[in-house]
Structure 1
């Protein structure tokens, strides 16, 4: 079963590589995007009409540039919309952002393990999303269940797809280290490192409401804190004003918590 799944995965990646150099037509129509976004994406609902139109245009550009495919599942319009929205949300403050380090997104039915298996019973089948490395460089894998849940639960400060796209943003300078050099001005580097250290210490001492996974390392802290910022901005601003301000400057999303 694993060999079949790996074969399907590699075939999908081959399709990504083949289509990366071509202009791709978006797999879905925009006709129902606005209604779906209003219903499922809080970030979009907070935008004014002009910025909502811009947001949809940015989604269209993403889907034209990046191939999104289901593995042993059929995707519907909502899946494409949520993937594209997840990509646009953290870079909406940057006019000309392109995910040059991403060619394709694979959607699995549910959680999977490090061997990319999802059709087996395993204690290690816990991965919700990942950014590929090695032979899977330039690819992302997401659990459809996690993708949907990230936008359906409005109170958990957790969004797997945004988390993985933040890792990609972090990686644009060549290394995933929690220090997104393309986003942070050089003068912010030391304050950001000091703030990360303080917040991670608080997580380790169970004195923080940031998800425990954020204490794993600096890159995971950046991704977890970013999830919190985009999912529960008002709460983050109230409980962690310094962290909120730093992320607001980083993502160039002024007054987001209003």
Structure 2
């Protein structure tokens, strides 16, 4: 009997480190978001009020898990408050609706700067010469579990949900892209059969955007997306959530692929732009 008791105690000790974090998370998720957090979501995510109650509830639960699991660090003297945490978490979790998710499992820290921050770069040139430089950035997604954001541009993205520019959506799209192994414009799509059409559509529209960028042609997609397939996916994500009507009209196949991936249709949350918007664009629907 004593031996059996010790076996049971030993099993409990072994299982405790695995069970305890899940129990703590479930306890945290059992508590609803406070009224102050809901007010921040409504104020800084204009689309939140237009979402159906079911999606609002999903987003609240995702935000609660994000806030519980991720660490926020203020940089350059910035003191991170609840306004910053909830605003960033709400926009990041918008990308996770209607799917089973561990909520950015590889991400553990969000660094928040007051404004543009400098990142040191090292480039190897001809003959192996290394050139050091500093780039000013508004956001960056790193492969070591960190995302860096400039708060003033987070605010700017939250204030205008129709300009197709949102640093949080952009950087967290990179996080999703990395879940397939590398940020290459092809996030994890589940079944291998999904990649054929994804690659065909995104490769074509990426090539078109590169052409538009080279010849300075107008595009609903920001020309920054022409830098690489990874940047194209991130820019397309921004456009999908902030300019869904324009994107669906001009890049129908691309919109369809993103709609399948993100499992939502932002056109349901945003009013269609005035009819005259099309008069300023001579690009043909793709």
- The TM-score by the shorter chain falls in which range? 0.7 to 0.9
Structure-2 residue corresponding to 1:91:
96
Q: 1:57 to 1:181 in 2, by over 3 A?
A: closer
Structure-1 residue corresponding to 2:166:
159
Structure-1 residue corresponding to 2:66:
62
Q: Structure 2 length as normaliser, TM-score?
A: 0.71
Structure-2 residue corresponding to 1:15:
none
Q: 1:242 to 1:200 in 2, by over 3 A?
A: farther
Q: Which whole-Å CA distance do the structure 1 matches of 2:69 and 2:206 have between them?
A: 33
| Residues 85-234 of structure 1 aligned to structure 2 (within 5 Å) | 85-115=90-120, 124=134, 126-133=136-143, 137-182=144-189, 185-192=194-201, 193-207=203-217, 208-234=219-245
| Partner-residue secondary structure (3-state), 2:174 | helix
Unaligned runs of 5+ in 1: 1-20, 117-122
Superposed CA deviations along residues 197-255 of structure 1, whole A, max 9, x for unmatched, are 233333333332321211111111110111011112122222322221121112121x3
| Partner-residue secondary structure (3-state), 1:113 | strand
8 Å Cα contact 2:45/2:91 also seen in 1: no
Q: 1:183 to 1:114 in 2, by over 3 A?
A: farther
Give 1:124 shift.
4.8
| Partner-residue secondary structure (3-state), 1:126 | strand
Q: Which whole-Å CA distance do the structure 1 matches of 2:153 and 2:190 have between them?
A: 27
Q: Which whole-Å CA distance do the structure 2 matches of 1:49 and 1:168 have between them?
A: 27
Q: Structure 1 length as normaliser, TM-score?
A: 0.79
Q: Which whole-Å CA distance do the structure 1 matches of 2:226 and 2:151 have between them?
A: 26
Q: Which has the higher strand share?
A: 2
Q: Which whole-Å CA distance do the structure 1 matches of 2:226 and 2:84 have between them?
A: 30
Q: Is 1:80 aligned to residue 85 of structure 2?
A: yes
Give 1:125 shift.
5.2
Give the length in aligned residue pairs.
Answer: 227
Q: Is 1:42 aligned to residue 59 of structure 2?
A: no
| Partner-residue secondary structure (3-state), 1:42 | coil
Q: Which whole-Å CA distance do the structure 1 matches of 2:34 and 2:263 have between them?
A: 27
Q: Which whole-Å CA distance do the structure 2 matches of 1:215 and 1:189 have between them?
A: 17
Unaligned runs of 5+ in 2: 1-19, 122-132, 269-286
Q: Which whole-Å CA distance do the structure 2 matches of 1:48 and 1:224 have between them?
A: 26
